Structure 1
Amino acid sequence: MSFSQPDAIIRIENIRLRTFIGIKDEEINNRQDILINVVIHYPADKARNSENINDTLNYRTITKAIIRHVEDNRFALLEKLTQDVLNIVKEHAWVTYAEVEIDKLLALRYADSVSITMSHRQK
């Protein structure tokens, strides 16, 4: 008898990047600090009993793609940036659930940050 195991959960925490984000002149002309957190669920059936990198979801590749996209582009809205990163994360066919939270640090005078969280569930 074969039993299905719950999905593995990858957490990529506190990716610290600088990008152009916002609509004010100061934001358009100066990079700002953002913090990215990612959660990825995938069935790790092959990876559970393997030492082969091809049997797993390579979080290093995903992280590099996120960094490249964020640093090489400009964004007016935090929502658009968050959706773009979510699209990168959910690209792999094995992803059953993905969640991205991006904090725009010091976006408001009396707050540490403003964040947006978006998620995707495979149908």
Structure 2
Amino acid sequence: MSYQSDAIIRIKNLRLRTWIGINAEEIANRQDVVINVQLHYAADTARVSEDIRDALNYRTITKAIIQHVESNRFSLLEKLTQDVLNIAREHYQVTYAEVEIDKLHALRYADSVSVTMSWRR
């Protein structure tokens, strides 16, 4: 049986701390970022299976994102977003990935500023 449509996995509101920005305070102190990732993959086998090897392992992807974000410094939100997108799209099963990262309190009267990037196989 073929379903011919992707499953969509959403990693919602992954809250991490990293060095992001260019002014002295941003360079000296970690800041909060909120990451949202959307992953599409052909889940035909996983739909009828109970074997984890048939599904996209979002836990492994999330751990790689956490490790990368928390252990590096970024001047630009665009660079951070592209790095996370690269991690999200690494798995051969992923057909589409979208990443949005919010830098909290980046502007005085706004909750956050975000950048969104996507990729399609």
Identify whether the pair has TM-score above 0.5, normalized to the shorter chain.
Answer: yes
1:88-118 Cα distance to aligned partner (Å, 9 max, x none): 0000111110000000000000100000000
- Answering whether residue 30 of structure 2 is matched by residue 36 of structure 1, we say no
After TM superposition, what 4+ stretches of structure 1 lie above 3 angstroms from structure 2? Answer: none
- Answering whether residue 4 of structure 2 is matched by residue 5 of structure 1, we say yes
Code of the aligned partner of 2:36: N
TM-score (norm 1): 0.96
Q: Cα distance 1:63–1:99, how it changes in 2: closer, same or farther (>3 A)?
A: same
**Aligned-partner Cα distance in 2 for 1:9–1:51:** 18
1:24-82 Cα distance to aligned partner (Å, 9 max, x none): 01000000000000000000011011111110100000000000000000000000000
Structure 1 unpaired stretches of 5+:
none
- Answering whether residue 97 of structure 2 is matched by residue 93 of structure 1, we say no
Q: Give the match for residue 58 of structure 1.
A: 57
TM-score (norm 2): 0.98
* Displacement of 1:5: 2.6
**Aligned-partner Cα distance in 2 for 1:3–1:66:** 32
SS in 2 for 1:96: strand
- Checking the alignment, whether the CA contact within 8 Å between 2:2 and 2:44 is kept in structure 1 is no
Q: Give the match for residue 66 of structure 2.
A: 67
Percent identical pairs in the alignment equals 74
- Checking the alignment, whether the CA contact within 8 Å between 2:100 and 2:116 is kept in structure 1 is yes
- Checking the alignment, whether the CA contact within 8 Å between 2:104 and 2:113 is kept in structure 1 is yes
**Aligned-partner Cα distance in 1 for 2:50–2:63:** 22
Code of the aligned partner of 2:103: K
* Displacement of 1:85: 0.1
The number of residues matched between the two structures is 121
**Aligned-partner Cα distance in 2 for 1:75–1:58:** 27
